[in-house]
Amino acid sequence: MILVNNKGFTVIEMLVALAIFVTFTGITLFNYPRFSNKVSLDLLAHNVALTVRQAQTYGLAVKAFPGVIPFPAYGVHFELAGIETNPIKSFILFADECPTATPDKLYKLSGCPSPPPGTDPEFFEKFTIPPGTNSITALCANEPLVDPKNPAASTGCSSLASTFIDITFKSPRPDARIYLNGNTATAASDAEIIFSNSRGDAKAIVISKTGQISIR
């Protein structure tokens, strides 16, 4: 009796396996840029939410600050134009120091008497959005976000849009004080910070006046 050893692959089997491998590799490489951009946007949204939470924690913990007011409120400043050179690529964690007698819950570059001229008296930390397509698209308030996956091209808000928003927290309450465009006469009930990329993906950080922070 002759035994035939049939171990191994035929040429056809190898070609089929290679075709399957090439197909799946092509699909993966084709979708990788979009997947990478979405992951980057998700990471940015979580980092922003953590920064707002950090301001809330500092405010409630009465964290010391080397300024005129030793234990100020803390906040986060977002903007589309104005103070920063490239605001859609950054946001600022600040200590509410100015004016000295009655802090106004807004981020300022000047107004306190103790810092040297030209310095930023309220600055605590600046967060820069990593290079890429992600940026701040819109700042909304006093409304539920219409569609966080597809913000409007103009503002991203259904009605109330803002150029800049300041969100501050102060002990002993976890409540957020939300002010639009420097108007401290009326606090907003909520704020939506919308981030998006050039591929149309979007994320919204929602901060309510009760201090709740969520990501949509």
Report the residue count for the chain.
Answer: 216
Residue 39 vs residue 118, higher pLDDT: 39
Asked whether the predicted pLDDT for residue 211 surpasses 60, the reply is: yes
Question: How far is the CA of 206 from the CAs of 30, 42, 123, 136, 200, in angstroms?
Answer: 33, 14, 23, 14, 19
The answer to whether position 201 is within a domain reads: yes
β-pairing verdict for 213-215 and 135-141? unpaired
- Which pLDDT score is estimated for 147? 53
| Span 63-74, average pLDDT | 84
How confident is the prediction for the chain on average, in pLDDT? Answer: 78
155-175, pLDDT tens digit by residue? 357 667 788 899 999 988 889
Whether the Cβ atoms of residue 87 and residue 49 lie closer than 8 Å to each other? no
Give me the number of domains the chain comprises: 1
- If one counts every other C-beta atom within 10 angstroms of the C-beta of residue 200, the result is 11
With a pLDDT cut of 70, the percent of the chain lying above it is 72
Instruction: Tell me the three state secondary structure of residue 32.
Output: helix
The answer to whether position 62 is within a domain reads: yes
| Cross-strand pairs, 207 | 191, 213
* Widest CA span in the chain: 105
The answer to whether position 12 is within a domain reads: no
Local confidence band at 75 (pLDDT 50, 70, 90 cut-offs)? very high
Task: At 81, list the tokens.
Answer: 């134009």
The answer to whether position 22 is within a domain reads: no
Q: How many CA atoms lie within 13 Å of 193's alpha carbon, on the beta-carbon side? A: 34
- Which pLDDT score is estimated for 150? 53
- Which pLDDT score is estimated for 145? 55
**DSSP per-residue string spanning 35-88:** HHHHHHHHHHHHHHHHHHHHHHHHHHHT---SSSSSS-EEEEEEESSSSSSSGG
Cα-Cα-Cα-Cα torsion 154, 160, 164, 170, nearest 10 degrees, comes to -150
Question: How far is the CA of 109 from the CAs of 40, 112, 120, 121, 124, in angstroms?
Answer: 30, 9, 5, 6, 12
The answer to whether position 102 is within a domain reads: yes
Task: At 214, list the tokens.
Answer: 């969520």
Residue 110: give the domain boundaries. Answer: 34-215
The answer to whether position 20 is within a domain reads: no
Whether the Cβ atoms of residue 53 and residue 213 lie closer than 8 Å to each other? yes
The answer to whether position 210 is within a domain reads: yes
The answer to whether position 167 is within a domain reads: yes
